[in-house]
Chains A and B, each alone.
Chain A
Amino acid sequence: NAGVMQNPRHLVRRRGQEARLRCSPMKGHSHVYWYRQLPEEGLKFMVYLQKENIIDESGMPKERFSAEFPKEGPSILRIQQVVRGDSAAYFCASSPTWDRRQPEYFGPGTRLTVT
């Protein structure tokens, strides 16, 4: 079984540009989570989505960040007008249900560098 896939693995953007990070969940998984890991810091929850619905976005910065998980295709984390402080590793995870008895499985991450 293919695991969670993320692309690109590395992304370089200049300040002010937009960054789009993609996440394809494991087969059969309809729940997606995004986490961010700033340099030398721990992983922080950002957003939890089901197909076409945002369930919990309490960890998302109020501005410039958005996420979607359309009926078809991967989940997208979008960062508009990137700043240097957005440089981080962004991890996506997926699970088959909301049931917390089911673990989340993580992808390899996208490392965003803002120059």
Chain B
Amino acid sequence: DAKTTQPPSMDCAEGRAANLPCNHSTISGNEYVYWYRQIHSQGPQYIIHGLKNNETNEMASLIITEDRKSSTLILPHATLRDTAVYYCIVRGSQETSGSRLTFGEGTQLTVNP
């Protein structure tokens, strides 16, 4: 699976949009971009994933560049409960080679009142 690079930390004001970047310059054509978050020491929470098109769900939006070498997770109206470590993960689509999630260091997002 391709390696990802994220800033170690970011701050965001409550009510504003949080834009979390991720670089994945070595991504392959069949690899998906996944985002998870971990609030304190809870189990990781799935947020969103995509291949090449932008995606949106009730939690967030995922913007993937045309060359797929980077992406941005957008939390449109951040709340204090969104304070967490956010992980960007590139994941293959084959049964054996893509059978795991490889978590990096992630980005510690702190939402301030």
Mostly, the B contact residues are: loop
Interface residues of A in 69-115 (CB under 8 A from B): 89, 91, 93, 98-101, 103-109, 111
Q: How far is the CB of A89 from chain B (nearest CB, A)?
A: 6
Residue B104 at the A interface, CB < 8 A?
yes
Residue A44 at the B interface, CB < 8 A?
yes
| Residues of B with C-beta under 8 A to A48 | 99-100
Of B16-24, B36-44, B66-74, which stretch is located at the interface? B36-44
Against B, the Cβ 8 Å flags (1 = close, 0 = not) of A31-59 are 00101010000111100100000011001
| Residues of B with C-beta under 8 A to A4 | 43
Interface pair B46/A42, CB less than 8 Å apart: no
| Residues of A with C-beta under 8 A to B98 | 100
Interface pair A106/B96, CB less than 8 Å apart: no
| Residues of A with C-beta under 8 A to B42 | 108-109
Interface pair A100/B92, CB less than 8 Å apart: yes
| Residues of A with C-beta under 8 A to B38 | 43
Can you give 13 contacting A-B residue pairs, CB < 8 Å? A4-B43, A44-B103, A45-B100, A56-B99, A91-B44, A100-B32, A100-B93, A106-B36, A106-B45, A107-B43, A108-B42, A109-B43, A111-B41
